[in-house]
Amino acid sequence: MTHEHTPLSSRDALVGAAGLAMFATLPGVSQAAAQTSFVPSFEDPVDAMRAHVKLVGTLGAGEVISFYRINLYADLHDGNFIPMYTMNNLLIDKWETKANNVHQMIKYEAGYYSAFDSYEPLSIFTNPATKETLPIQNFRLGPVPRGYSPERFVVMGFHPNPLPLEVIGDRVYLATQSIESRPSFTDPTQTTYTNSFMTYSATLADMQDEQLPSAPVHAQLQNKTHWQHWMKMGDQPGGTVARGFGGKVASLDALPPGVLENFEKLVPQILDTTNWKRFVSESTVVE
């Protein structure tokens, strides 16, 4: 992985820290402003990997809970996108630290659909091409293992290729992209295309805080993918387009009002990952 920032030596870091303290005492200069004057380097593979893990998860061990609101649109390859519904997306990631700067994670993910830009759960879906109404299949994915080391990332399923870390203003940004194709799970004669993009950002101060193993983040996502099998779109050209936003939450109790109760009713498996053993995905056919 190549990164474009100028590396800092140990001496540079010490001189920078002294200058930072002096600069912060000048009239009208805040500590936050001083902090951004000394940009860290992510050229070292270990530093880059640790920053990546701190953004997406934790350098420690334990659970990291994230929540996203994802608005989904139909792209019929004819005219504008059509707003369909919103997914309320809950992720529970279980992290472990290993020797030699290796971090491992098991991901569990679920989502229930609500009216577009609303929290009101939906039980039926209206096909945007045929106007047929169908039962909605709420979303589950996992368990999905991932491994992070300075040499490589090992990911089951999508492969979110990280772009170089960037520092803009007082925030650190990590962008990833998954541009992939593979045989369809439900019809191996067909090819499934995925174009998925994520951006995480955290404050520079949090990223430089060595006592903080997991940085609070702002995250955004966009993707373009195939129709889900339960939508029964047949040979309709196009697919779904998603745009979402969210971040880590301190606990399940920190979810927006009513969300935890809806997961308890609609996708309770995400709240009992201990007993979630069998792999399922959005392509798993529910009998």
pLDDT: which is higher, 5 or 253: 253
pTM for this model (two decimals): 0.83
Q: Summarize the confidence of residues 190-201 as an average pLDDT.
A: 89
pLDDT 10s digits, 215-228: 999 999 999 998 99
Cα–Cα dist 48/54, whole Å: 10
pLDDT 10s digits, 251-281: 999 999 999 999 999 999 999 999 999 999 8
The pLDDT assigned to 18 comes to 36
Specify the amino acid at residue 10.
S
The pLDDT assigned to 157 comes to 63
Q: Summarize the confidence of residues 101-111 as an average pLDDT.
A: 97
Report whether 71 contacts 65 (CB < 8 A): no
Instruction: Tell me the CB-side half-sphere exposure of residue 89, using CA atoms within 13 A.
Output: 24
Is the pLDDT at 162 greater than 80, yes or no? yes
Q: Which residues contact 142 (CB under 8 A, 6 or more apart)?
A: 106, 107, 108, 109, 273, 276, 279, 280
What percent of the chain is modeled with pLDDT above 70? 83
Q: Summarize the confidence of residues 152-162 as an average pLDDT.
A: 76
The pLDDT assigned to 37 comes to 45
Greatest pairwise CA separation for the chain in angstroms: 68
The pLDDT assigned to 153 comes to 82
The pLDDT assigned to 189 comes to 84
The pLDDT assigned to 134 comes to 95
Is the pLDDT at 110 greater than 90, yes or no? yes
**180: pLDDT confidence band, cut at 50, 70 and 90?**
confident
The pLDDT assigned to 19 comes to 36
pLDDT: which is higher, 18 or 168: 168
For the chain, what is the mean pLDDT? 85
The pLDDT assigned to 21 comes to 38
pLDDT: which is higher, 41 or 201: 201
Q: Which residues contact 228 (CB under 8 A, 6 or more apart)?
A: 137, 240, 282, 283
**11-25, 61-75, 149-163: lowest mean pLDDT where?**
11-25
Report whether 139 contacts 91 (CB < 8 A): no
The dihedral through the CA atoms of 205, 208, 213, 217 has a sign that is: positive
The pLDDT assigned to 242 comes to 97
Is the pLDDT at 31 greater than 60, yes or no? no
What percent of the chain is modeled with pLDDT above 90? 70
pLDDT 10s digits, 15-25: 333 333 333 33
Phi and psi dihedrals of 192, rounded to 5? -100, 130
Q: Summarize the confidence of residues 58-67 as an average pLDDT.
A: 98
Q: Count of CB atoms within 10 A of residue 108's CB? A: 21
Cα–Cα dist 71/119, whole Å: 11
- Strand runs labelled E in the chain: 62-75, 82-98, 102-114, 124-126, 133-135, 139-148, 153-155, 161-162, 166-168, 171-183, 191-203, 218-225, 239-249
